[in-house]
Every structure is written in structure tokens, then in C-alpha cells.
A and B are shown apart, each in its own frame.
Chain A
């Protein structure tokens, strides 16, 4: 048995890189700094090694040849999932370019709420080390943060020391919208977060009133979405009084119609505070299933985020039209390639189209795909790079074991070669 230290995780999105993992053959055990998200993701056993065609085991070469044959005569295949590392995305985009495919990251419909706000008015954001060292007030909007990232509070708020705060336990935490499911947001000395819960559907109205109060506009209502306006006034006052407040949200959690307008409202509140002679920053949560990685690599390769099609010979971005699920439903695709190297439970959407899956070992299908190629998981079976939620830091993923599973990049490059 060997023990590997300082292991970075591609699963949790918050860039934990202090895991200790014991390796025994191909079995992994997280022995230190695990969490409810990372531990099962690292420890999941390898069940399939061999690729399959229509459920029958074949060699990798045969599977690759078959996949290329399926793609050869397509006019507009959809590459869904797109959950892999940087090199995997590079190979995916190269193949999509060549085969005239649509590329669509599986989390894009959630992330779209952020992209629409960004591309309409922009934002002022920060990153995790700034949160750790400067944040004196964290406003958490519409998300149960500890379920999203179990170690967020331990690593970034209740850390032993911060460069610019005398006592990290003095930070204030306020929940607006969703209430926390546990006690991770309570400081080590027992200081509890303030919670102002409301229904998701009421968040747009609540945030609009909060912005009006930040801007000093009079508000006649006494309550909005069940939250007293005086409480929102208190939140506005705390944002204005803080040295370095941080407003965080998870686009994926804002599952209501036109939530991009709520993201925009939050981003504009942050800008307003910065125009009132103090600092405030946004912190969008994400970074799961390779979503930031897909958008970053697609961004520099095409100029656009990862919902982009190549069937016209050049990249075209449309945040609504090129949604995998909808393209399948509308009959606008003629094959599906599903790439999911991180999560065996994340299987392709239902379709009768020819389907090629590059998946994490252990995927169980309702309908066996035409071609299934189990691939290695970045940061487990091979080295690689993955972006953290704050989009600035690409973490260097380690190879932890010799499983013999090929990387996404190797398989997709082989399919491209065979085309």
C-alpha cells in the first residue's frame, strides 16, 4: 500500500488539494480530509475495464473504429456531458470541429444564468484565497452552501488564520433564500449564521428590494417574500459597512424561470456597493462535472462558452438552441456522444439515436449504448488539469493508480484519427 498526500480533487469544485489517499492496487481509500462529495467520488471501485459494442466486450481499437464509423456520416451529432479535464476538452473540441458537432456541457443550463448576466452587464468577482484572507461578511443567496461544498466553511472561513482579520471567528454569515441544512456555517466559537429564508420563486422580488435599499430608494412594503424589509435593510447596511463583503450564489440552485435576472441583480448590487466607497465581491459557485473546465477550454478554442455548434464549419454559440436535451427532443441531432469521466451515475439522456459513451467505469445504462468506452477519471487514473469554481486556478490533477483505463483525450484523439 502506498499513501499519496496533497491530492487535489476535481469533484468538489472548491479546489481542495490536501486529501490523503491510500492506494492498494486499484482500490483507493481517502484517509484524511475527505468529505461527503469527495470521498465516494475517489473511492468508487472500477467495475468495467473493457469497451463494449452493443453490450459485447471488444478491444479499444474495435470500439474506436466503430465510434468513428457511427460519426462518419452524421450531419449534426451532439457531444453532451463534456465532463472531463482540459486535455479531454481539447480533444473533444478537435473532434467536434472535424465532425461538425454541437458541444454542450451538461451543467450549461444552470451556468447559462451566469453567462447571460456576464454577457449583458458583467460583474465584480473574487476568488477563494481572497475570501479566506479578507471576507468579513459572507452573504449566501439561494443555496445550501455546505451541501454544495461540505468543506467550504472549514477551509475558507473558519480557517486558523487570515492575513487581514484578527479573528476569523468574527466573520458574519447571512443566508438569504435557502436555509442551511447543517451547522457548518456556525463559527467554531458558536456564532450562528443569520438566516432569512424565502421560497425560490420569491427571490427575484427579494433581491430587487435589497438592491433598492442598497441604492437608498424608499420602499413602502413592509415585507417581501415573507422577509421583513427591515431585515433586508439590515443586510444592505451590513454590506455597506463591511470592509470586504462577499456575495455568493450557485447558478444551478436558482432553478426558476429567468433566474439570470436574479444573478444580474446580485452582480449589480455588488457593483453598487463598490460605488459607495467600500469593497464587495461576487463569488459564483460551480466547478462540478468539469463545467468550468469545459467553458474555459471552449472559450479559448472558439471564443464562446461550451454550448456551441460546429456544423456550419465555424463555431456558433447559442445558449438556448444547442441544449442537448432539447436538440434530441426536436430531432435536430443525428447521434449522441456522451462524455462523463467523473461521475458514473451521470448517464446520457434517453434517445434512440446512435449513442457513443465515454464514461467513468461503472456506468449502468437503461439502454445499452452502441459503443461504451470506459475511460479513466482525471485526477485518479491519469494526470490532468481541472478548473476550480473561481475560474482562475487550474489545479494539476495527479495520477493515483495504474488502472490501464485510457484518458478521454486518448480515446477522442483516436476517434478523430479514425475519421
Chain B
């Protein structure tokens, strides 16, 4: 099957193409070079006047795992307001803040996304994350495995085991949980909460272990680098949501000493303490630090107004935030000497000073960071807003007058506390394509996604150019997944199943002997039953695993 996409205006930053009219050929799922004149084209799409990008990749979205399912269970009223009926080809379900798995896949695809990565896979809950993601159609997926509050690691560090032991454990866990990256959430803080610590600063010791968050971050960032894992250590910092946490975040950037590090939903970690309400924007200082430190990447975690639910591994901070729950119901869990979770519904309101300033801080961050290859478009779905609000967010970034019109309607004190109105930058289509495609694929280490060069998989989205960028990005004309047309005119026309992206770093088998003893003595599961086998992903006949190469020839 040879498909030709003819005459579209192509934005393919992975190959340095910025809005050039050119044809794309897809054969057997992958993009190929222009074939010889004698080769027959089986199907041709006339894309003259259309915008062509590769399929979008959400590098941080909570789409699989226990806390998401708690969030679903907690909010039946939210689902009732957005029922989704079955069709001849799609399953029924529900939408809004935390959609059902099937609807998650359909709605992402209908916005032109072809991959999503779950950033908080607890090793002990990884099975569930994969099972839920296994029920998300069309999209490719993958997960970052959460470490840093697990007792095994903290015991290694307290016992002053060497970096190699940590590397072996990290590699073992990545394999056991079938993940593509490593995430830290409130380094050591989830663990400290179990010892009744209610806050944990970067240099504060765990009440039980002789370990600080800074040490955990350095050790894990080193492990990720030394193992050759392409995705840098993915960090949800200390003190989420706390006024003044901009200092912690700057210290975290400084303190990592040049190691690759990704700071996620940085908006929630960019707060100062100035002004009458002792809450101010730290975005300019954060952006300056990010611009300066080339080892740092960030995603924003933009807040958009309305009802949503926050679901996080950070039960220490979620417990502190429970008084803000709206509606007033919430869940916190301590989990298996591994991690924890907290689920707190939130309603972000434009007439609330803090919420309005959070909105502005996110946008300031987007607009003040120079390099679109190191910043990524997220709302930390569903924590800042549901992923379905991305087209609106893109319009805010690309349309200064629209942005300023919205700003003018917000809480007046918040307007005074942001420089947003004076920022003239408007994102270009090429920059959007970098943030949501080429850059994301590069960051995660997907070597054959996120670009439109020959050899890439045929994940392609086609839009109709529209000055209203929200309308443009809401409803692509066509979406191809692995070369198959899955969405036409913004509606799913075919349901396919994506792959699960993983890395498989090697480890010294000696670590398993020690782990076996630890599991038998302290945990509630046998080591052999903990490890996820390949057939658990593939046995349903739809799932598959795609292992990506490691860096530095490791």
C-alpha cells in the first residue's frame, strides 16, 4: 500500500523543514522517499493549502494507573455531564476531566495526537498502568517509572551503596515495570509523609533515613545518564504549590550540576512571595535559569479555568492541599513501601487571584523560554486542565491579542502581578511543531517518531490553516497512525492499537539476589510475581512492545 500526501505545507522541524510545500509518501506504515515514476500510487490525498505535521506527542499526561482510576471513581457527576455514546466503530465511555480509556484514545487522536506518556508509573502499580493504557486505542504509549520515595532506594542510599548498585536497581526496575524513563515525585517526600513529615525541603533529611531530596535527585539523574536512558530524569520538584517555591526550583536547577534533568509542570513550582497576597510570579527567573542551563528541559503544566481533578503521586503536598478540594472530597494513599498518591478535585476560577496568576505564570513561562526544543506543551492532564483544552492553549500562545483579551477579564490584582500583557511573542507553527512533535520525540528517545523524514513511522496530522488556531488544532482534516487513516474531519474513522515504548537497560544480576531477600522479608509479593512479563502486554493480541536504543553506545 503506497499512499501519497500531495502538496501540503509541511512543518517538520526534525528535518529542518519550516512550512515548505512538499509531498509525503507512506508505504507499509512508514514514510518513504519519493518512489520511482513506474511505482503505482494506491491512494492519494490532495493536501494543497493544508498544514502537515507529524502526529503530536504528549510527553506528560496522566492516562494510566491507579490514581487516575481513583479520580474517575471519585467524580461520577463529572462523567454524567459528558457521556459518550458508542458508535458502529467506537466504544461508549465518558469524557471531561478524567475520561475513560477508550474516550482518551479517541479524543487525543481527534486532536491530532498519536502518542501519550504516563509520567507516574509506580513500580508496584505498573501492571495497572499498562492495562489501562492497553485499553487506550490508537495512541502509542509508555510510562516513566517512579522512584525516589521507595524504601529500597532510600536503604541503598542510607547504607552508602555505590552508584553502580543504584544503577543496577534503576535498570532492574525499568525492565520489571516496562518503562521508558524514570520519574521522581517530591524526592523522598512521599516517603517522609509516611513518617509524618508534612514538608521536605531540598536539603532536609528524611526523619528515618539519612537522605535528602538533593541527594536522591543527584543519584537518580546520574543513574539515568550512566545507563544511557535517553529521557533525562523526569522531576516533579519539592514544595509543589507552595508560595516561594521558585527558590527551591532554582536551587534544584543549580544543584543538579549540569546533569540532564527534566522539570515537569514547572508552573506549579514557580511561585514567589511578593505582593499584597504574598503570592507572585517567579516565571521570569525560572525562564532565565532554563535559558542559561542547557541541561534543563521543562514542561509547563498550564492551568486553564474550570473544573478538573488533580491526581498526583505527591500525597504529602496533596494532603496539604485537601482544604482546597472542590467539590470537597479527596483521596490520599500510602502505597506499598513504594510511593503514594493523592487525588484532589480542583476548580480553577478566573476571578480567584491565585488561580488567575497561576494561569499567567504558565503563559509567562512559555513565552520567556527561548528554545522551543527544551519546553513542552502540557497541562499536566488532568491537573492543570484536561488535555482536551490543548487547542485553546495553542491559541493563547500563538495569538497575542486573544491572550490579552482573556487577561483583561481576570482577577484585577492578578493582572497587576503579571508581565504577560507586555510580552509580544507569538509562537509560530514551526515552534508548536517542535514543542508537540520533534522536541517531544527527541526528549523521550523515540528515534522514528515525531518527524516526517523517510524511515519514520507514518504518524501524520493534517490541518486546515485557520487564523483561529483553536479551531485549527481542534479538528484536523486527517490523522494517520502508522500510515493508516484513523481520523477524518476530526472524527475517528478507524480504531487501531498503538505500541508501548520501553527501554531495556542491562543490570548486574547480583542485584536480584538482594532484591529477592528484600521482597521476601518486607514486601507482600514475590519478586517473580512483581516483574511484568512481555506476554502481559501482548497476550490480548493488540498490544506490542517497542524497545528503544540507549545513548552513548551503552
Chain A contacts to B: CB under 8 angstroms: 6, 8, 15, 17-18, 86-87, 90, 94, 97-98, 115, 118-130, 132-134, 155-156, 160-164, 243-244, 274, 277-279, 281, 295-297, 299-305, 310, 312-317, 383, 385, 391-396
Contacts and interface: CB of A to CB of B under 8 A. Distances in A.
Nearest to A243: B196
A156 to B, nearest CB: 7
Given A300-B101, A301-B135, A315-B92, A395 B83 contact: no
Contact of B521 (A118, A120, A160): A160
Given A278-B196, A301-B100, A313 B85 contact: yes
The 10 residue pairs across chains A and B that have the minimum distance between CB atoms: A303-B94, A303-B79, A122-B329, A314-B83, A129-B336, A313-B85, A314-B85, A394-B127, A122-B330, A6-B526
Contact of B540 (A8, A18, A87, A125): A87
B471 to A, nearest CB: 26
A128 B526 contact: no
With a 10 A CB-CB cut-off, give which of A161, A244, A278, A315 has the most chain B CB atoms. Answer: A315
Contacts of B21: none
Contacts of A383: 535, 539
B66 A396 contact: no
Interface in B495-552: 521-526, 528-529, 532-533, 535-536, 539-540
Given A129-B336, A392-B124, 17 more contacts: A122-B343, A124-B331, A127-B334, A129-B523, A243-B196, A297-B131, A300-B69, A300-B100, A300-B135, A301-B93, A301-B102, A305-B73, A315-B83, A385-B127, A392-B125, A393-B124, A396-B532
B235 to A, nearest CB: 23
Q: How large is the interface on B (under 10, 10 to 19, 20 to 34, 35 or more residues)?
A: 35 or more
B196 A97 contact: no
Interface string B181-208: 0000000000001111000000000001
Contacts of A119: 73-76, 329
12 contacts: A6-B526, A17-B526, A129-B336, A133-B522, A278-B196, A296-B69, A301-B91, A304-B76, A317-B79, A392-B336, A393-B524, A396-B533
Interface in B82-138: 83-86, 91-94, 98-102, 122, 124-125, 127-128, 131-132, 135
A162 B127 contact: no
Contacts of A90: 135, 540
B72 interface: yes
Contact of A161 (B98, B124, B522, B526): B522
A8 B524 CA distance: 11
Given A120-B329, A163-B151, A313 B526 contact: no
Contacts of A316: 80, 83
Contacts of A156: 524
B98 A303 contact: yes
A279 B69 contact: no
B524 A86 contact: no
Interface in B46-68: 66, 68
B332 interface: yes
A17 B529 contact: yes
Contacts of B80: 316-317
Interface of B: 66, 68-69, 72-76, 79-80, 83-86, 91-94, 98-102, 122, 124-125, 127-128, 131-132, 135, 151, 193-196, 208, 319, 325, 328-338, 343, 521-526, 528-529, 532-533, 535-536, 539-540
A130 B540 CA distance: 33
A299 B73 contact: yes
A304 to B, nearest CB: 6
Contacts of A97: 86, 91-92
A222 B529 CA distance: 51
A130 B334 contact: yes
A160 B517 CA distance: 13
A163 B100 contact: no
B209 to A, nearest CB: 11
A303 B99 contact: yes
Contacts of A164: 208
Contacts of B329: 118-122
B92 A314 contact: yes
Contacts of A303: 72, 76, 79, 93-94, 98-100
A126 B92 CA distance: 32
A161 B100 contact: no
Contacts of A278: 196
Contacts of B93: 301-303, 314-315
Contacts of B131: 86, 297, 300, 385, 394
Given A121-B328, A302-B94, A133 B128 contact: no
Contacts of B76: 119, 303-304, 317
Given A97-B91, A279-B194, A126 B333 contact: yes
Nearest to B82: A303
A274 B196 CA distance: 9
A121 B322 CA distance: 11
A18 B526 contact: yes
A127 B333 CA distance: 8
Nearest to B102: A301
Contacts of A301: 91, 93, 100-102, 135
Contacts of B332: 124-125
Contact of B194 (A86, A130, A305, A385): A130
B525 A393 contact: yes
Nearest to B100: A303
Contacts of A300: 68-69, 72, 100-101, 131-132, 135
Nearest to B319: A274
B335 A130 contact: yes
A372 B538 CA distance: 30
Nearest to A160: B521
Contacts of B195: 279
A274 B102 CA distance: 37
Contacts of B334: 125-127, 130, 281
B129 to A, nearest CB: 10
A281 B328 CA distance: 19
A127 B335 contact: yes
Contacts of A314: 83-86, 92-94
Contact of B125 (A115, A295, A385, A393): A393
B333 A129 contact: no
B208 to A, nearest CB: 7
A295 B526 CA distance: 25
Contacts of A161: 521-522
